[in-house]
Homo-oligomer: A and B are copies of this chain.
């Protein structure tokens, strides 16, 4: 009997943003596999076995899930947000390739990813062409990150930065903000959104000229507007930020 791996995105935080399909997979699984703090957000039922692991152990975690399912078990691999965006789905298929195939069924269930959850809270900054870049240089050269940020800035994309900062990577975000200030106007809106829809949600909007790395932590997604991104007063609550459908032409 062949087992099943479900790769599940929990959404940004509050269960009201988690899909019924994700919930259903979490219920079916006998084993829940994931990074400890994410598993702490998953509902755990009697009889389920929880396999919590550390941040840097993605590949081991994926292999564990495949091994369990290869032995006939039903397993949910849990990510925050959407499992396919800088999360466990890619790692799971890396493990499938390493193992020369999967001896089980695999279903990936999409979720609400951090950048669209953050965007919704502040308006619609991702309303037009945008890109998503991880600022972690653990697994790719720093030069690649800079080249992508520069290309995206010059082509006037809105940008969402995942993994902007951590204790092991304290200076990367500052370098990226410096680079952006060479290309984008100082009044370009920058959004730092942490723990969206969780009790400790924190959303800060500042002009690029005043953006500082200390405004982000490892739970933050940062969104930097394009030249077309605008702000609209939001009563006593501050501002709405949005990027209109009618894009400004890219300067030559």
Interface residues of A (CB under 8 A from B): 7, 11-12, 14-21, 24, 58, 82-87, 89-94, 96-97, 101, 106, 108-113, 116-117, 119-121, 123-134, 139-141, 143-144, 147-148, 150-152, 154-157, 230, 232-233, 235, 240, 242-247, 249-250
Q: Are A110 and B245 closer than 8 Å at their CB atoms?
A: no
B-chain residues with CB within 8 Å of residue A14 when the two chains form the complex? 21
Number of copies: 2
Q: Are B111 and A246 closer than 8 Å at their CB atoms?
A: no
Q: Are B134 and A129 closer than 8 Å at their CB atoms?
A: yes
B-chain residues with CB within 8 Å of residue A93 when the two chains form the complex? 123-124, 127, 230, 232, 240, 242, 244
Chain A interface main SS type? mixed
Contact among B58, B89, B120, B157 with A84 in the assembled complex (CB-CB below 8 Å): B120
Contact among B19, B87, B108, B240 with A18 in the assembled complex (CB-CB below 8 Å): B19
B-chain residues with CB within 8 Å of residue A86 when the two chains form the complex? 127-128, 245
B-chain residues with CB within 8 Å of residue A89 when the two chains form the complex? 119-120, 123-124, 127, 242
